[in-house]
């Protein structure tokens, strides 16, 4: 029988860009160490920020990710939805590209990320504020 856990938390407010948040996320997963094998699902409750997994060592990757996202969807595109400012509609588009959820395996009470992988908060607004996340995780309890 699987043990299920769910917690809601808010990530710290960050400026626009791609931010490594693995440690912050793990700090909210109080019972993860009880699981021998399982899955974690993270869901961000916003339409102008997203989550992804990428390089956790070289901070230049995060800068390059922001640069690439802005080239793919620049604020200069002729958007119709502009009532919340020029960064709003591009943020919605980027959030759809990267996605609102991640699923990560759990092995021996820890996230089974690769050596160079980390969880990113992709903040697509200039001032997005604290971002709410629902973490649902379950698995087989350790003996």
Residue 66 and residue 17 in contact, taking contact as beta carbons nearer than 8 Å:
yes
Q: Report if residue 1 sits inside a domain.
A: no
Q: Report if residue 128 sits inside a domain.
A: yes
**Model confidence pLDDT, tens digit, residues 84-131:** 999 999 999 999 999 999 999 999 999 999 999 999 999 999 999 999
Q: Report if residue 126 sits inside a domain.
A: yes
Position 2 scores a pLDDT of: 86
Q: How far is residue 141's CA from residue 2's CA, in Å, rounded to a whole number?
A: 7
**Model confidence pLDDT, tens digit, residues 11-27:** 999 999 999 999 999 99
Outline where DSSP puts E strands in the chain.
3-11, 15-20, 35-44, 49-55, 101-107, 110-111, 117-127, 131-141
Position 143 scores a pLDDT of: 83
Domain count, the chain: 1
Residue 133 belongs to what domain range? 7-141
Q: Report if residue 35 sits inside a domain.
A: yes
- CATH code for the domain of 51: 2.60.120.460
Residue 89 and residue 81 in contact, taking contact as beta carbons nearer than 8 Å:
yes
Q: Report if residue 61 sits inside a domain.
A: yes
Q: Report if residue 48 sits inside a domain.
A: yes
Q: What is the pTM of this model?
A: 0.96
Q: Report if residue 2 sits inside a domain.
A: no
Q: Going by C-beta distance under 8 Å and a sequence separation of 6 or more, which residues neighbour residue 52?
A: 18, 98, 99, 102, 119, 120, 122
Q: Report if residue 111 sits inside a domain.
A: yes
**Model confidence pLDDT, tens digit, residues 30-85:** 999 999 999 999 999 999 999 999 999 999 999 999 999 999 999 999 999 999 99
């Amino acid at each position: 029988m699987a043990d299920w856990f769910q917690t809601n938390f808010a990530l710290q407010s960050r400026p626009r860009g791609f931010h490594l948040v693995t440690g912050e996320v793990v700090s909210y997963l109080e019972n993860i160490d009880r699981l021998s094998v399982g899955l974690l699902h993270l869901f961000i409750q916003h339409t102008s920020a997203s989550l992804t997994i990428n390089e956790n060592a070289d901070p230049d990757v995060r800068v390059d990710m922001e640069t690439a996202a802005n080239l793919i969807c620049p604020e200069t595109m002729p958007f119709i939805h502009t009532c919340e400012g020029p960064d709003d509609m591009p943020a919605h588009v980027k959030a759809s590209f990267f996605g609102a959820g991640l699923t990560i395996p759990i092995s021996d009470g820890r996230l089974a990320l690769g050596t160079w992988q980390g969880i990113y908060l992709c903040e697509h607004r200039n001032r997005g504020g604290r971002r709410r996340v629902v973490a649902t995780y379950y698995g087989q309890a350790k003996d």
